[in-house]
């Protein structure tokens, strides 16, 4: 493999429909050649001259047919299931993800969704649009509630899950976490169990929050069986990948009030089609994959990119958040 291009030879292509990656990078005065593609077509056009590609949702496997110079891909997001890992490895193209860049944002988003479900903020906004002043509720089970004393089951105790655990504790909740390696855990969760014990914890959980990556083990983790194991009064919050939830099973659980409600930030098909039955559910809060949004996002990704470029220039093969 040829050496990694020097700073004065390198060209970076930023590819995203909204994030102002190239603009923020230019403000650092690095003197490294770079440009931004705002569409998939533009990405393919500019890719043949790029040594480094910074991308997430625009990725297409056929880009590799136009990327003879490509040496390093920096994912803009934490997820990397869209990339052909074996092909990248065979072509000696490094891949790093952006794990941690939005841990504060996602954990706070999840906490906000928990609060919204318990405080019924979504129905309050619905009533506001209809100019309805709702009266006090006599049925205790239908009222708003506080979080104190409730149990949250957090699947995935990485940077996001641990931050959410700390936030949940601040609201007086009991935190049970699910983690692959529980032997060395020293975070804020009250209890930690292995993934094999996850089904046994569902009956005690008032809220189940998915903060895990999408893997073979977590794909459709929430399904007919796991929804049946939940309390009828419990909620599901998903700030992980949509593939972690079997959507027909979720739809059935919400439609039949098998669970009290859910808040979902990511679906299998995005944008969520207008024809989707999920739009009509009163016991569902939908956010359009905005859990990780923050005004610091570009800068946080560029911090990882710049550190990894420094390592590659120093012939250090170990990158931050390296996948390949």
pLDDT tops 90 at residue 1: no
- My answer on whether 158 and 218 are in the same domain is yes
User: b/e string for 209-247 if b means 16 or more Cβ within 10 A?
Assistant: bbbbbbeeebeebbeeebbebbbeebbbbbbbbbbbbbb
Q: What is the pLDDT of residues 237-258, one digit of tens each?
A: 999 999 999 999 999 999 999 9
Nearest to 209 by CA among 161, 140, 279, 170: 161
- My answer on whether 108 and 247 are in the same domain is yes
Domain count, the chain: 2
Residues serving a catalytic function are 241, 270, 289
pTM equals 0.90
Q: Please indicate, yes or no, if residue 2 is contained in any of the structural domains.
A: no
Q: What is the pLDDT of residue 172?
A: 98
pLDDT tops 80 at residue 53: yes
pLDDT tops 80 at residue 236: yes
Q: What is the mean pLDDT of residues 148-162?
A: 97
Q: Please indicate, yes or no, if residue 272 is contained in any of the structural domains.
A: yes
Q: Please indicate, yes or no, if residue 205 is contained in any of the structural domains.
A: yes
Q: What is the mean pLDDT of residues 283-302?
A: 97
Q: What is the pLDDT of residue 31?
A: 95
- My answer on whether 64 and 158 are in the same domain is no
pLDDT tops 70 at residue 284: yes
Written as six digits, the tokens of 129 are 């649009």
Q: Please indicate, yes or no, if residue 186 is contained in any of the structural domains.
A: yes
- My answer on whether 58 and 178 are in the same domain is no
Q: What is the mean pLDDT of residues 205-227?
A: 96
Q: What is the mean pLDDT of residues 139-165?
A: 97
Q: What is the mean pLDDT of residues 58-71?
A: 96
Q: What is the mean pLDDT of residues 110-132?
A: 97
Whole-number Å distance between alpha carbons of 308 and 101: 14
- My answer on whether 127 and 56 are in the same domain is no
Whole-number Å distance between alpha carbons of 43 and 95: 17
Q: What is the pLDDT of residue 79?
A: 84
For the chain, give the percent of residues with pLDDT over 90: 97
Q: Please indicate, yes or no, if residue 230 is contained in any of the structural domains.
A: yes
Mean pLDDT of the chain: 96
- My answer on whether 95 and 194 are in the same domain is no
Question: Domain containing 83: what range?
Answer: 11-101+294-313
pLDDT tops 90 at residue 153: yes
- My answer on whether 91 and 172 are in the same domain is no
- My answer on whether 163 and 261 are in the same domain is yes
Q: What is the CATH number of the domain that holds 252?
A: 3.40.50.720
User: Among 76-85, 158-167, 203-212, 215-224, which is the least confidently predicted range?
Assistant: 76-85
């Amino acid at each position: 493999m040829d050496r990694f291009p020097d700073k004065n030879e390198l060209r970076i292509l930023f590819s995203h429909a909204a994030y102002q990656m190239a603009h923020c990078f230019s403000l650092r005065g690095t003197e490294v050649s770079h440009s931004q593609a705002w569409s998939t077509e533009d990405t393919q056009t500019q890719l043949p001259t790029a040594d480094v590609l910074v991308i997430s949702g625009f990725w297409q496997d056929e880009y590799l047919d136009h990327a003879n110079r490509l040496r390093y891909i920096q994912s803009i997001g934490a997820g990397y299931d869209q990339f052909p890992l074996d092909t990248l490895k065979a072509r000696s193209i490094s891949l790093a993800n952006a794990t941690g860049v939005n841990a504060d944002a996602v954990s706070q988003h999840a906490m906000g969704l928990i609060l919204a479900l318990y405080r019924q903020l979504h129905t309050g906004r619905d009533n506001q649009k209809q100019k309805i002043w709702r009266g006090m509720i006599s049925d205790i089970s239908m009222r708003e509630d506080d979080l104190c004393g409730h149990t949250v089951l957090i699947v995935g105790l990485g940077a996001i899950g641990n931050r959410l655990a700390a936030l949940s504790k601040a609201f007086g909740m009991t935190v049970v976490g699910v983690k692959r390696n529980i032997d060395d855990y020293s975070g804020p969760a009250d209890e930690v169990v292995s993934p094999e014990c996850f089904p046994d914890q569902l009956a005690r959980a008032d809220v189940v929050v998915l903060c895990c990556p999408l893997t073979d083990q977590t794909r459709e983790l929430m399904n007919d069986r796991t929804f049946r194991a939940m309390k009828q009064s419990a909620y599901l919050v998903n700030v992980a990948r949509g593939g972690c939830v079997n959507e027909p099973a979720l739809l059935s659980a919400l439609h039949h009030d098998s669970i009290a409600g859910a808040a979902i930030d990511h679906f299998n098909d995005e944008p969520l089609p207008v024809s989707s039955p999920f739009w009509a559910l009163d016991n569902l809060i939908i956010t359009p994959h905005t859990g990780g949004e923050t005004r610091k996002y570009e800068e946080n990704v560029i911090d990882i990119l710049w550190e990894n470029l420094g390592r590659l220039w120093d012939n250090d093969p170990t990158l931050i958040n390296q996948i390949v």
